[in-house]
Amino acid sequence: MTTPVIDFHVHAARPEDYHPWVVDWMRSLLGEASLEKFRYLMTPPGLLSVMDDSGVAYAVILADMHPKTVGTVTNESVAEFCRGQERLIPFGCVNPHLVSSPRDELKRCLDELGMRGLKLAPTYAHFYPNDPSLYPMYALAEERKVPVMFHTGSSVFKGSKIKFGEPALLDDVAVDFPNLTILLVHSGRGFWYDQAAFLARLHPNVYMEIAGLPPQKLLTYFPEFERLADKTIFGSDWPGLPSLRKNIEDIRALPISDAAKAKILYGNAARLLGLSV
């Protein structure tokens, strides 16, 4: 039987929620998809058809409060997108420059919108993730046992500042909140793969997330990839890649054990999301 898959990193919104150049980039990756086709893929039925075609059981859907770089996909719209869809798991986004209290905004995402985790993109919103002003928000996430995803490393989008995406900044957070689950989104993409792998091995609460990394390069970036299988989580960054199905096939083709692939593609994420393993 083929291992089921959880995709921990999916974007879905109306095209007008993103900046035009972001939509153009995504459409070009999908083989110059027409705007109508792209719009359909960004609806629950469209996304679920892609998930079915790719063997994805569950997907984490991410909000984006990053008007400077990507666009504005509100927490409300992501909650609405996932409503009544058991396979779509909404994660909120907090941009500390846009809200008076990051903690209160997370609380609202969890209590009022039914979201089940948080994604932060310090490189897009321009803040240091270990800033003490964010600690009340992390304390709440730790208390509620919801995972927090941090974008680390590079991005193709203009306006992104890589200095805010250094994985080592999360060492502070991992130490100060030992029961907070931390995902290093993109695993320090660019020149910080070693930092990401080191932190994931050092801290029980830190995981690498591999969205946007070419599967064929994973064993080059992480020579001990098999040993990191307990601390690695699959995400695709759909629709920021040509084919979700091919992305997963390429991971299944890696020369690592089936047990390791099952953890990376499903088991680790299922545990963090409270789904059946």
- What does the binding site for Zn ion look like in residue numbers (CB under 5 A)? 237
Q: How far is the CB of 10 from Zn ion (least distance, A)?
A: 8
At its nearest, how many Å lie between Zn ion and the CB of residue 237?
4
Q: Concatenated DSSP letters for the chain? A: -PPPEEEEEEE---GGGB-HHHHHHHHHHTTS--HHHHHHHTSHHHHHHHHHHHTEEEEEEE-EEETTTTEEE-HHHHHHHHTT-TTEEEEEE--TTT-S-HHHHHHHHHHTS----EEE-HHHHT--TT-GGGHHHHHHHHHHT--EEEEEE--SSTT--GGGG-TTHHHHHHHH-TTS-EEEEEEEETT-HHHHHHHHHH-TTEEEE-TTS-GGGHHHH-TTGGGGGGGEE----BTSSS-HHHHHHHHHTSSS-HHHHHIIIIIHHHHHHT---
User: Cβ of residue 185: shortest distance to Zn ion, in angstroms?
Assistant: 7
**Pairing of the two strands 71-73 and 88-93:** unpaired
Give the nearer residue to Zn ion in terms of CB position, either 199 or 211.
211
Looking at beta carbons only, is 161 or 201 nearer to Zn ion? Answer: 161
166 versus 237: smaller Cβ distance to Zn ion: 237
Residue in the shown chain whose Cβ atom is closest to Zn ion: 237
Between 41 and 140, whose beta carbon lies closer to Zn ion? 41
Return the number of the residue (7 or 237) whose C-beta is nearest Zn ion: 237
Give the nearest distance from C-beta 58 to Zn ion in angstroms. 17
Q: How far is the CB of 132 from Zn ion (least distance, A)?
A: 27
CB of 11 to Zn ion, least distance (A): 6
Between 105 and 237, name the residue whose CB sits nearer to Zn ion.
Answer: 237
The encoded tokens of residue 168 equal 């080592």
